[in-house]
Chains A and B, each alone.
Chain A
Amino acid sequence: MVVFKKPHALTDVPFHYCPGCTHGIVHRLVAEVIDELGIEGETVGIAPVGCSVFAYNYFNCDMIEAPHGRAPAVATGVKRANPDKTVFTYQGDGDLAAIGTAETVHVGTRGENITIIFINNAIYGMTGGQVAPTSLPGQVTQTTPYGRDVKYSGNPIRVCEMMSTVTGTAYVERVAVDCVKNVRHAKEAIRKAFTMQQEKKGLSLVEFLSTCPTNWGLTPVKALDWLRENLMAYYPLGVYKDVTAEEEAK
């Protein structure tokens, strides 16, 4: 009896992610949902620029690699040409909330029926640990070596809070994958996001508070502790918008 196997929607290519990085968990959850919904053949994924740039090698659906921050625009092009396919982007915080902020906001205003999987680890990972739009006040990074001074480097962006105010977004939730309970819940959030896309409700966005032990300079276990103590305090978990719940409430 098979009790555990790799989802079909993941290829056999080994992940390049660092030990303790939560990208791998989120990749698997997305793939499990694609398998369970039976949509691998009808799905197009958009990879970002950043640590998860090689996502195109890992997902078994058709994959396009977008310029930095432009995944929502690329996804718009795919979706408008193929309205009945499922389209998702997979983006980090620098990609989505710095260089691609305009694309993120406007894919929401248009209510594009796509799903954004947003990895927020509060740092630029691939380039070696520079300050991110979501780095916390006081956070030490390679380009804020004395800690992020918000008067000098600006304030962190709370993406879910911002996107929940945009008319056109259908579902916005912030989750974490730091423990089994949260992993299980995160998978349900992905399923809900994909389902709402299929029902053409508008943009769905799931933010994952994630770890970067390498660039945070912490062990994987301590990185999870830091995430719980610091990221969760600044970026509370929860559903920020759900138009189906609002419809039911009426």
Chain B
Amino acid sequence: MSKMLMKGNEAIAEAAIRAGCKLFFGYPITPQTELSEYMAKQMPKRGGLCLQAESEIAAINMVLGATASGARAITSSSSPGISLKSEGISYIAGSDLPCVIVNVQRGGPGLGGIQPAQSDYNQATKAPGHGDLHLIVLAPASVQEMASLTGLAFDLADQYRMPAMILADGALGQMMEPVDFEERTARELPEKTWACCGHGNKREHNIINSLYIQPNVLEDIVKERFKRYEEVEKNEVMYEEYMCDDADTVIVAYGITARIAKSAVKEARARGVKAGLFRCITLYPFPAKELERLSHKVKRFISVEMNMGQMVNDVKVATDCRVPVTHYGRTGGVIPTVKEITEEILRLSAKKEG
């Protein structure tokens, strides 16, 4: 199939529909609006449903109901809206339900701004809701990946019975690029025998629930869930290395920042500095082993993020601070430039070598 020119937000919506998602529940917020508008146009024509809820909270709980009854469902929002959804995200995780949540990040805290940011990294990977839980967190860096990772997110969510998040940002959501919706290889997935859609007098009644009053029972259930998380960490890590083989200075980045950093790596190489880029595609599971391996042969890591320093802590833990790990970031909706990042690479390289 020929490529289509689309906005990132629209690519997620189209990919979700192609992945068999029949239900979208959302609430308007900038800069993800194109996603719900695309759903509103397309879903009724393609046998699905797009419903604007009365609140972010209602939207995530509609997702809970739809997925509990066995359907594929998605919701999308941006940073302040994700905070509102965190209650529902925790319940969905605590009920072992799959779903896809899109966060087209904007600046924070509070109402923050409406320009691109990556300041919800900690929220997405550390505390998406109360309790011991994880989301699968996928970080696209192009409109093409907005599409391909959305299809994957549905499969991963169903396979591991846990919510998955597309952690994008306002730049990726708004920009237009060609995207190819070629037939993706869907995974073989278990039947949803747990779904609450009426037992039809053919089986015992199903219960979907996150309440376990007995502490030892709750502990066993949380531990079983963490066994599944271990499988996710073992099997589903995704990353991209660019010119890391002989690099002294490796930038760690994800999403739109990784694309800018790639240009900075080329620029630094042109100026004789051996730079490389390690791009995280999965943020949970975090590519810790791969960074640990790299840490034995590089001189430094720079975590470049659109925040005040969040993923940098994961890089430090993963690499055991074997070599210096520093952070370079802009925040509040300011996107770092190629020049800024290049200068940071040159500055740190000169400092160590000089």
Which residues does A use to contact B, with CB under 8 Å?
Answer: 11, 40-44, 46-47, 53, 56-57, 59-67, 70, 73-82, 85, 102-103, 105-106
Contacts and interface: CB of A to CB of B under 8 A. Distances in A.
Contact of B198 (A11, A41, A57, A66): A41
A53 B91 CA distance: 14
A65 B209 contact: yes
A44 B198 CA distance: 6
Given A56-B207, A64-B208, A78 B65 contact: yes
A67 B68 contact: no
B232 interface: no
The 6 closest A-B pairs by CB, nearest first: A77-B65, A73-B61, A62-B196, A77-B66, A74-B65, A77-B62
A67 B199 contact: no
Interface of B: 22-23, 25, 49, 51, 53-55, 57-59, 61-71, 73, 87-88, 91, 95, 196-202, 205-211
Nearest to B57: A70
A77 B25 contact: yes
B200 A76 contact: no
Given A59-B205, A65-B211, A67-B88, A82 B197 contact: yes
A73 B73 CA distance: 14
A77 B73 contact: yes
Contacts, number: 137
Given A63-B208, A65-B211, A70-B88, A77 B23 contact: yes
A103 B65 CA distance: 13
B55 to A, nearest CB: 6
15 contacts: A44-B197, A59-B205, A61-B205, A62-B198, A63-B205, A63-B209, A64-B64, A64-B196, A65-B95, A66-B61, A76-B58, A77-B62, A79-B65, A81-B65, A105-B54
B250 to A, nearest CB: 43
A146 B71 CA distance: 50
A41 B201 CA distance: 5
Given A62-B205, A64-B208, A42 B68 contact: no
Nearest to B54: A106
Contact of A64 (B58, B65, B199): B65
Given A77-B65, A77-B66, A41 B58 contact: no
